[in-house]
Structure 1
């Protein structure tokens, strides 16, 4: 999922970096509106938790493995704007200190994982919760996690194709199949983590039923 250096051409690097910068500037403005200083430590704890959780891989199939993306986890508990800043911090640390994702591809990785994935998670979570059936909270959390992984995988495939690295038809199907399985693991882990982290940090699901709202920590 993390694109390394050398896989994206100049136009894609510049375009994704610009899009990520614009989105993060908007996220920062929204977070300043929604949070106060007392609530900021919760974001740091969330970032540390996601960073640690991403270091643990689980087997998928045919020798491949996956790890927690964390977009839905953060979006459900602290809203997509805060989630974007949390995941951006995690991605920067991983890139600079662990060589997980390339520096030139950092804008693309942020766009896929820290910008698009949390808002896809928000949209799916809101859509499922509107049905208000028994267990809708768990179903909404699981599906928001699964779709967030699929969205990031799709954007990664599209960026590689736009860069001429590989044909879209050649990369999209295997990428989506593998990440459909990874998404199941993401959904299960996210459901457990939302319950655990929410209890430890005294948080509850804060993705608003209003699709235009960003959510936040109480």
Structure 2
């Protein structure tokens, strides 16, 4: 089967399936990114999570925990199937520049090209062991504050990813139809293209500089295990 035809079939099948998540719909903070990608012929999303803070212990309250309770912050994660490797590389560059440094590309046996957008600022902290609380309530409040700060940073990275993704797609559209654009107004086209590139590059540079300055305190000064990135 023609690769393009196979990709169109995979996309149609994926987007026609029911959402089997507990929520039953795309998270609000990830909805714009998902809609933007699915509106393009070269991409479609297969799963996403905008990020969450959870207390894990058989889904019961901490004061009633009988096992090992763990507080987790899980950052934004997105899986996108791409038509060509070049398309995946474009998204990968956008993801890395937006702060999702653990993103990667995989190619399956059937030729499916998948991009995983992931970051490294997760959090996993044990709170109790065999039903016994191992930390103070003040420390739990401190951890919740840290988790909330991480969630806010997570939302900023999602917004940055969306904005830079828009820039990348607009540049590719301009470059793929130079003759059409030139017929309308050559001078306006070139100015607009330079403006888009400059604005996006400036935004990426400024944000990356801030992240580089904050690399040493990405976990906000506490000792905790990084949440596994193999989900």
TM over 0.5: no
Greater per-residue helix proportion: 1
- Structure with more relative contact order (C-alpha pairs < 8 Å, separation 6 or more): 1
Give the structure-2-normalised TM-score: 0.29
